[in-house]
Structure 1
Amino acid sequence: MRPKWALVMLGVTAVALVPWMVLLVRMLPASTEVRNWQVAWVGLDVLMTAGCAATAVLGLRRDPRARLTASATAAVAVLDAWFDITTAQPGAALLQALASAVAEAALACACVYLALSKGQARRE
């Protein structure tokens, strides 16, 4: 059974984030110069790679924790696609971002499938 207080806190957090998002939309600049751009982008790909590897290893071992790494990897793939698309310049860069997003969406769907599947019980 899930702790009720944690679920209530998640609900309160969701409500509290709505005015925060409105504030961000009104206050943040439309563009900015970013430091460590390559590190940020490569970092997302490192997380995706680690998630795929961990999910594969755990899944092949029939370890139920593979469902957790699959969930996290799906989230990172969606996040990567979101930033690819929203930061791309119009034209060829946006087309490349959209093509990448299709691949990342496929990865996310596969990971969600793995996370939600019951899988086979581990044989001891």
Structure 2
Amino acid sequence: MTVRTMPRPRPRTSWAPKVLGAVAVGLVPWVFVLGRSLPETTQVRHWPAAWIGLDLTVALGCATTSRLFHRGDDRARLSASAVAALMVMDAWFDVLTAQAGTELTQAIACAVPELALAGLCTWVALRNAERES
């Protein structure tokens, strides 16, 4: 007769959630400081490089997620989560930095597929997580 033993629970790192919680609490007053101190407008150096870098990072994340997911590698959920976050951030900044009028309309139109990709990546991340449990 074989005796089945329960797997040992992983040891929990107790300091990590405490640090994350403290950062979350600390960011609340910081947001108010930023709201009062940041200028309404600003000029940005290397604007094209910032957006090109973001889009290349998204492309690399999509390629990585695709490859990992195709191979059945559970790490696909990690890259999918990162791409989802990047796409939400991309849509947010596209819309909020656009000039009123045609530029804003274009930014909103671009936000739709960006947020759809974020949704797809979230689905990939959650789908893989559900299969593990």
TM alignment of 1:35-114, pairs within 5 A: 35-114=45-124
Aligned to 1:5: 15
Q: Which has the higher contact order (CA 8 A, sep 6+)?
A: 1
Say whether 1:25 aligns with 2:47: no
Q: Which runs of 4+ in 1 moved over 6 A?
A: none
Q: Which runs of 5+ in 2 are unaligned?
A: 1-9
Query: In structure 2, the residue corresponding to 1:58 is in which secondary structure?
Result: helix
Q: Is the 8 A contact 1:80 1:104 kept in 2?
A: yes
What RMSD in Å do the two structures reach over aligned CA positions?
A: 1.4
Q: 1:64 Cα deviation (Å)? A: 0.7
Say which one has the larger Rg: 2
- Secondary structure of 2:87 counterpart: helix
Unaligned 5+ segments in structure 1 are none
**Structure 1 equivalent of residue 126 of structure 2:** 116
Structure 2 distance, partners of 1:48, 1:99, is: 18
Letter of the 2:26 counterpart: A
> Number of aligned pairs?
121
